[in-house]
A and B are shown apart, each in its own frame.
Chain A
Amino acid sequence: AQTVTQSQPEMSVQEAETVTLSCTYDTSESNYYLFWYKQPPSRQMILVIRQEAYKQQNATENRFSVNFQKAAKSFSLKISDSQLGDTAMYFCAFMKQEGAQKLVFGQGTRLTINP
């Protein structure tokens, strides 16, 4: 079974700073996807970024980028020039490429951006 671990329950940074959220996972699969989702206080889950395991290049989406280390089974999220609207719970998630399309989530990191 796959597991996803987020070791930082809470983080807090000042606006405009850069912050990195950690995620590690455990799997015996070779092909899979990794995701970061954001859940603001309004509760709508929003996809932040997606990474295919077969791609060595790290995914980027504007101010959001990942550091994907497949051998280490690590998938961290970097938020550059953080904004107040980035305040949210951030969940790391894993999905096998083959078979059941099941997302396995980490426990989440509560990120607060302070003015």
Chain B
Amino acid sequence: SAVISQKPSRDICQRGTSLTIQCQVDSQVTMMFWYRQQPGQSLTLIATANQGSEATYESGFVIDKFPISRPNLTFSTLTVSNMSPEDSSIYLCSVEDPSIRGDTQYFGPGTRLTVL
């Protein structure tokens, strides 16, 4: 199956700063997704990132706060901008890998973000 890595694995940041999270896949995938998991909570989709087009954001998430890049079929970044303590969460990327099975998402290891 596709191997998905994320950098950094964790970080502690000061409020008002920004952090860019990277998601790398070892094979080409069409669809990549970014989720947020707040402490003790379930996962919520932030946006869908397709190569060559603007990301599609879910209700409650805006591009100014969570800009996303998708420069090619194996890589994406999510930036958490102007951070506040409420942004403390685990951020996970996922991909659909049609070489395994379509309509199924596989997740990266996540980035644990703490904002002070």
Interface residues in chain A, defined as those with a beta carbon under 8 Å from any beta carbon in chain B: 33, 35, 37, 42-47, 50, 91, 95, 97, 100-103, 105-108
Contacts and interface: CB of A to CB of B under 8 A. Distances in A.
Interface residues on B, range: 20 to 34
A97 B105 contact: no
A47 B42 contact: no
From B44, B58, B103, B112, name the one whose CB has the most chain A CB atoms within 10 angstroms. B103
Interface of B: 31, 33, 35, 41-45, 48, 56, 58, 90, 92, 94, 96, 101, 103-110, 112
Nearest to B100: A47
B45 A102 contact: yes
B104 A50 contact: yes
Contacts, number: 54
A108 B40 CA distance: 9
Contacts of A101: 31, 33, 48, 96, 103, 105
Contacts of A33: 103-104
A39 to B, nearest CB: 9
Given A37-B107, A45-B94, A107-B42, 14 more contacts: A33-B104, A42-B109, A43-B110, A45-B43, A45-B110, A95-B103, A95-B105, A100-B48, A101-B48, A101-B103, A102-B45, A102-B48, A103-B33, A103-B35
B97 to A, nearest CB: 11
B42 A97 contact: no
A114 B35 CA distance: 31
B58 A102 contact: yes
6 contacts: A44-B108, A47-B105, A50-B101, A101-B33, A103-B33, A108-B42
Contacts of B107: 37, 44-46
A100 B56 contact: yes
Contacts of B33: 101-103
A47 B95 CA distance: 12
A43 B108 CA distance: 9
B104 to A, nearest CB: 6
